[in-house]
Structure 1
Amino acid sequence: MNTEWHFPVMIFASLLVFFLVIRAVLSAHEFREKKYTVALLSVLVVIVGMLFGKYGATLGLPWWVYYPIPMLMTVLLPPFVLKLRKTKTALYLVLSFLSAPFIHIFFSFFFSWTEYMPFWKIPSAQILFS
């Protein structure tokens, strides 16, 4: 079965979750005021980060290169670029750390797609209810 199309769908889902996390952290006014910065940040953190992780692993880079670089981009760039204070940075970090498992659980459980975090086995609804 061809699963190549899963990756763009997961990127789109990750973009949506990233926007929701940033929107939860920033006030409505701040979000509107920084919408172009948020858009650029989304491209860098989500799209570039996921592409680097996927193709870094595919090209045989060591895990300590292709895994931490996107993670550090996710953790460090938004608080720095958006100039978040301590409370908002803490909220962002909690939500961002919860977002990857949430996305993985969603795709694994509802669609049996396990590529997002392949090292974490989540049973699918199809298996549980058949």
Structure 2
Amino acid sequence: MHTEWHFPVMIFASLLVFLLVIRAVLPRQEFRQKKYTIMLLSIWVVVVGMLFGKYGATWGLPWWIYYPVPMLMTVLLPPYILKLRKAKTMLYLILSFLSAPFIHLFFSFFFGWTEYLPFWEIPRWVDLAARISW
């Protein structure tokens, strides 16, 4: 099965979810004022972070480098770059930690794509539906 195109789709979905998280944290006016900073931050945190995570393993880097570096970028950069106060930082952290399982759940359940969080097995909806005897 050809699955190499899954990764760019997951990057795009992650980018959208990241932008939604930032939009949920920032007021509309501040989001608009910082839109260029947010776009650059999004590309760096999501696209570069996911590429580093994926290809870090391929390059032979130890897991304690290719896994924590993107995670630390996601956790530390947005609050610092966007100058979030404590309450906004906490909201951002909660939403960002929920976003990865949400994305994995979505792709696993609806499409059977398990690459996002391969250690968490989610049954595909058609498999669940097939188990139901009518």
Instruction: Give the TM-score normalised by the residue count of structure 2.
Output: 0.96
Aligned equivalent of 2:84? 84
Query: How far does the alpha carbon of each residue in 1:102-125 deviate from its partner, in whole angstroms, 9 at most, with x for none?
Result: 000000000000000001111110
Deviates more, 1:52-61 or 1:38-47: 52-61
Aligned equivalent of 2:111? 111
Deviates more, 1:110-119 or 1:52-61: 52-61
2:101 alignment partner AA: P
Query: How far does the alpha carbon of each residue in 1:66-116 deviate from its partner, in whole angstroms, 9 at most, with x for none?
Result: 000000000000000000000000000000000000000000000000000
CA distance in 2, matches of 1:123, 1:65: 30
2:11 alignment partner AA: I
Deviates more, 1:22-31 or 1:56-65: 56-65
CA distance in 2, matches of 1:44, 1:31: 17
Figure out how many residues of one structure are paired with residues of the other and give that number.
Answer: 130
- SS of 1:129 mapped into structure 2: helix
1:26 aligns with 2:43: no
- How much does 1:57 deviate? 1.1
CA distance in 2, matches of 1:124, 1:38: 34
Moved over 6 A (4+): none
1:124 aligns with 2:99: no
Instruction: Give the TM-score normalised by the residue count of structure 1.
Output: 0.99
- SS of 2:122 mapped into structure 1: coil
CA RMSD, 1 decimal = 0.4
- How much does 1:59 deviate? 1.7
Aligned equivalent of 2:93? 93
In our comparison, the structure showing a higher alpha carbon Rg is 2
- SS of 1:118 mapped into structure 2: coil
- How much does 1:60 deviate? 1.8
2:100 alignment partner AA: A
